[in-house]
Amino acid sequence: MLHLERHRRQQMGWLRASVLGANDGLISTSGLVIGVSTANAASHDILVIGLAGVVAGALSMAAGEYVSVSTQSDAERAETEKERRELLTQPEAELREMAEIYKERGLSADIAETVAQQLTDHDALSAHLRDELGISELVRARPVQAALSSAASFCVGATFPLVTAVLLPGQNGVWAIAGVSLLLLTVLGGSAAYMGGAPVAKGALRVLVWGALAMATTALIGELFGLQSTG
């Protein structure tokens, strides 16, 4: 019978990249737009700066995720090759190692040896990767998937503050951009916490606090430079 039960751990790779990208898109773009808006930039300049920020940010997120996850993937491949060689050159030692792992997890010596032998006969490499190193298909690193998820979610998150800035240009839109972005950050943080099995309120609050801090800081910088440029 097929095992159809799904667990949150199966979603963690793309979920982490997507949440990180959307958070960064919202926070960085809203902060950027608020900063240049409070510096009295023209509407056209705000749009150009915002679009440039979205493109640069999405590519940066994609590159960062790809490099990071590729490094993890390289490490997994190296470990896989090492285990494959050890299974070929010292199968008895590897079998004893597996039995010890199962005994440490609570099985009796006889059962642990039986389980180790049966799993080795079935697929020795997969058994060692999963039970010795914690590597399985469910959690294996996927660089391209992580990069695309991160870049796409960054663009989605960045769209909302940028569209708000276009619809409400200048100083009038600053509070609207902040309000929309903080609301979406709260929803995103809470949703991500729920999907990951964490407390919803805690997940929403920590994203909200960091988003508000980023926007307040860029608004202050915009005010200071705006005052200097008009002085």
| Cα 36 from chain centroid (whole Å) | 28
Nearest to 220 by CA among 34, 70, 45: 34
φ/ψ of 81, rounded to 5, equals -65, -40
Q: Is residue 6 part of a domain?
A: no
Q: Tell me the pTM.
A: 0.71
* Six token digits for residue 96: 């004893």
Residue 197's CB: how many other CB atoms inside 10 A?
9
Range of the structural domain that residue 117 is part of = 11-230
Nearest to 143 by CA among 78, 82, 77, 63: 63
* Alpha carbons 35 and 6: distance in angstroms, whole number: 43
Q: Is residue 109 part of a domain?
A: yes
First to last CA, the chain: 76
Are the beta carbons of 79 and 72 closer than 8 angstroms? no
Residue 141: HSE in the Cβ half-sphere, 13 Å Cα cutoff:
17
Q: In total, how many domains does the chain have?
A: 1
Encode burial over 81-111: b for 16+ CB neighbours within 10 A, e otherwise. eebeeebeeeeeebbeebbebbbeeebeeee
φ/ψ of 7, rounded to 5, equals -120, 155
* Alpha carbons 173 and 177: distance in angstroms, whole number: 6
* Six token digits for residue 156: 């989605």
Q: Is residue 3 part of a domain?
A: no
Q: Is residue 102 part of a domain?
A: yes
Residue-by-residue pLDDT tens, the chain, 231 positions: 434 444 444 455 556 667 778 888 999 999 999 988 888 778 888 889 999 999 999 999 889 889 988 888 888 888 888 888 988 888 888 888 888 888 888 888 889 889 888 988 888 888 878 877 777 666 666 788 888 888 999 999 999 999 998 888 767 788 899 999 999 999 888 887 887 778 889 988 988 999 999 999 998 988 887 645 544
> What is the predicted pLDDT for the residue at 4?
44
Q: Is residue 1 part of a domain?
A: no
Nearest to 226 by CA among 50, 47, 42: 42
Q: Is residue 85 part of a domain?
A: yes
* Alpha carbons 48 and 81: distance in angstroms, whole number: 49
Q: Is residue 89 part of a domain?
A: yes
Q: Is residue 224 part of a domain?
A: yes
> What is the predicted pLDDT for the residue at 15?
66
